[in-house]
């Protein structure tokens, strides 16, 4: 069935057409009719399946119908998400699909000035996409009223729990009308998530996409055994051999992100980093560069990973293994989005093998090994542009130089 045959507003169909969405993905096929009927939904779907549009399409349609019925003004739908990046990405999907509708959409996140947000709220907003912090700030300041909300969407609920937002979710629920539609989306499921979900939804339609294979089929993912100190040479090689490709590199910490970026700079590879400690404006700017293709290599930490919706990422490189197994799924899910193929390569050092095994047991399968023979391994180390092999010393030199610069500035 094509979108053109759906019972949805022509304005929405036009938005979908412009986006190039012709047919629903699996999750969309299963959830759109149920949501349109007003049912609660509990969906377990990994990233990259089209889950955002799975709720955005029907929610926009419902908002349009509500307007036609001339119901009172006020926020009618709240989409709660865990991170700023995801909020921006979800807003972007709503805005594109809703481009030809008159539904008012607002993204409410912290780290940016709140006055324009307050102004927009005063003018009237139908759908609010928010992270918990700013949402509660504005509720407590009396700028936002939740008594007219009739649809609640929780997106990436598992990630919200990881980030410790459980209290916020419960707080929000207490303030919402009991009679509402709840759409609960999570990439993974466990006992805690189940308990949270069943406390929120009523007679929900359950939808589960590829429960036994959390990594989408169109993603080729493999592990390469590479020693910690050699990883940068392999990254250099992959980037240089694929100059036109968009590559997303994952590291464990902010410090690692900066280090890897410096290592690439030394071999004349331009990269940018994105992590929780970057200013919001910088993060948005870097993501836009990456999206437009002006930037080819982005180095990210897990915290910033879920919001990265760049449809044409060719490679995901796990430079470090993720500490939480679920994050493996989220990381590799950045490539191979919608109908595109993707490749994910994990660099695993000796010390990281236990973490790799944990990930495999989470996936319930072993990850294919990308064999690197000895000759190829040494060739990679030898062919680097980096002539100074004393890496530790270089890092120290660099830190000293930075300190000196700061001193001089003072």
**For residue 214, how far is the Cα from the chain centroid?**
15
Determine how many CB atoms are found less than 10 A away from the CB of residue 17: 13
In terms of DSSP bridges, do strands 181-186 and 151-154 run parallel, antiparallel, or are they unpaired?
parallel
Piece of the chain touching ligand AMP by CB under 6 A; list 23-31, 68-76, 273-281, 365-373: 23-31
The single residue among 6, 8, 13, 21 that binds ligand AMP, judged by CB under 6 A, is 21
DSSP bridge pairs for 41: 183, 205
Q: Which residue has the tokens 């349109």?
A: 36
Could you tell me how many residues make up the chain? 410
Residue 93 beta carbon to ligand AMP: minimum distance, rounded to whole angstroms: 7
| Radius of gyration (C-alpha) of the chain in whole angstroms | 23
Per-position x/- string for 250-289, each x denoting binding to ligand AMP as judged by CB under 6 A, each - no binding: ----------------------------------------
Find, among 296, 350, 298, 361, the residue nearest to 328 by Cα: 361
Q: Is 168 in the site for ligand AMP (CB under 6 A)?
A: no
Q: Render 154-169 in DSSP notation, one character per residue.
A: E-SHHHHHHTT-HHHH
Find out whether 298 and 79 touch, Cβ atoms under 8 Å: no
Cα separation, 246 vs 364, whole angstroms: 29
Q: Is 31 in the site for ligand AMP (CB under 6 A)?
A: no
Find out whether 332 and 316 touch, Cβ atoms under 8 Å: yes
The single residue among 163, 295, 311, 360 that binds ligand AMP, judged by CB under 6 A, is 311
Q: Is 6 in the site for ligand AMP (CB under 6 A)?
A: no
Q: Is 48 in the site for ligand AMP (CB under 6 A)?
A: yes
Please give the structure tokens belonging to residue 252: 């464990």
Q: Is 15 in the site for ligand AMP (CB under 6 A)?
A: no
The single residue among 150, 156, 158, 309 that binds ligand AMP, judged by CB under 6 A, is 309
The single residue among 112, 161, 284, 338 that binds ligand AMP, judged by CB under 6 A, is 338
Per-position x/- string for 50-69, each x denoting binding to ligand AMP as judged by CB under 6 A, each - no binding: xxxx----------------
Piece of the chain touching ligand AMP by CB under 6 A; list 99-107, 217-225, 254-262, 331-339: 331-339
Cα separation, 334 vs 218, whole angstroms: 12
Q: Render 280-296 in DSSP notation, one character per residue.
A: HHHHHHHHHHHHHTS--
The single residue among 24, 58, 322, 336 that binds ligand AMP, judged by CB under 6 A, is 24
Per-position x/- string for 199-238, each x denoting binding to ligand AMP as judged by CB under 6 A, each - no binding: ----------------------------------------
Residue 90 beta carbon to ligand AMP: minimum distance, rounded to whole angstroms: 8
- Decide whether 133 or 311 has the Cβ nearer to ligand AMP: 311
Piece of the chain touching ligand AMP by CB under 6 A; list 18-26, 282-290, 383-391, 400-408: 18-26
Per-position x/- string for 339-378, each x denoting binding to ligand AMP as judged by CB under 6 A, each - no binding: x---------------------------------------
Total residues interacting with ligand AMP, rule: CB under 6 A:
17
- Decide whether 49 or 181 has the Cβ nearer to ligand AMP: 49
Cα separation, 140 vs 137, whole angstroms: 5
Residue 111 beta carbon to ligand AMP: minimum distance, rounded to whole angstroms: 22
Determine how many CB atoms are found less than 10 A away from the CB of residue 1: 9
Residue 179 beta carbon to ligand AMP: minimum distance, rounded to whole angstroms: 28
Find out whether 335 and 309 touch, Cβ atoms under 8 Å: no
* Sheet strands (E) in 109-234: 127-130, 151-154, 181-186, 205-208, 219-225
Piece of the chain touching ligand AMP by CB under 6 A; list 46-54, 224-232, 287-295, 299-307: 46-54
Cα separation, 96 vs 239, whole angstroms: 32
**For residue 57, how far is the Cα from the chain centroid?**
19
| Sites of contact with ligand AMP (CB under 6 A) | 21, 23-25, 28, 47-53, 309, 311, 337-339
């Amino acid at each position: 069935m094509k979108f053109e045959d759906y019972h949805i507003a022509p304005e929405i169909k036009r938005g979908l057409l412009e986006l190039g969405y012709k047919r629903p993905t699996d999750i969309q096929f299963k959830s759109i009719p149920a949501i349109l009927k007003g049912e609660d939904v509990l969906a377990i779907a990994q990233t990259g399946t089209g889950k955002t549009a799975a709720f955005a399409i029907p929610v926009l349609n419902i908002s349009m119908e509500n307007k036609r019925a001339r119901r009172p003004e006020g926020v009618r739908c709240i989409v709660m998400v865990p991170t700023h990046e995801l909020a921006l990405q979800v807003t972007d999907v709503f805005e594109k699909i809703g481009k030809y509708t008159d539904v008012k959409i607002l993204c409410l996140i912290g780290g940016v000035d709140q006055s324009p947000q307050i102004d927009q709220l005063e003018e009237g907003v139908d759908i609010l996409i928010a992270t918990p912090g700013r949402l509660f700030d504005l509720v407590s300041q009396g700028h936002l009223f939740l008594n007219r909300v009739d649809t609640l969407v929780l997106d990436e609920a598992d990630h919200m729990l990881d980030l410790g937002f459980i209290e916020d979710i419960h707080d929000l629920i207490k303030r919402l009308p009991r009679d509402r539609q709840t759409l609960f989306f999570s990439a993974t499921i466990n006992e805690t998530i189940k308990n949270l979900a069943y406390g929120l939804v009523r007679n929900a339609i359950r939808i589960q996409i590829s429960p036994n294979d959390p990594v989408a089929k169109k993603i080729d993912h493999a592990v390469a055994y590479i020693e910690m100190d050699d990883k940068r040479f392999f990254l250099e090689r992959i980037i240089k051999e694929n100059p036109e490709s968009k590559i997303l590199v994952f590291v464990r910490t902010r410090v690692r992100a900066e280090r890897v970026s410096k290592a690439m700079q030394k071999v004349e590879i331009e990269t940018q980093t994105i992590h929780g400690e970057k200013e919001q404006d910088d993060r948005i700017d870097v993501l836009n560069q990456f999206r437009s293709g002006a930037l080819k290599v982005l180095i990210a930490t897990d915290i910033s990973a879920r919001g990265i919706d760049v449809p044409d990422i060719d490679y995901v490189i796990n430079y470090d293994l993720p500490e939480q197994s679920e994050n493996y799924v989220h990381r590799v899910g950045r490539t191979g989005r919608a109908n595109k193929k993707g490749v994910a390569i994990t660099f695993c050092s000796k010390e990281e093998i236990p973490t790799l095994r944990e990930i495999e047991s989470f996936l319930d399968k072993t990850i294919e090994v990308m064999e690197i023979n000895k000759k190829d391994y040494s060739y990679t180390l030898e062919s680097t542009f980096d002539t100074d092999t004393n890496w530790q010393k270089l890092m120290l030199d660099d830190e000293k130089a930075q300190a000196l610069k700061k001193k001089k500035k003072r």
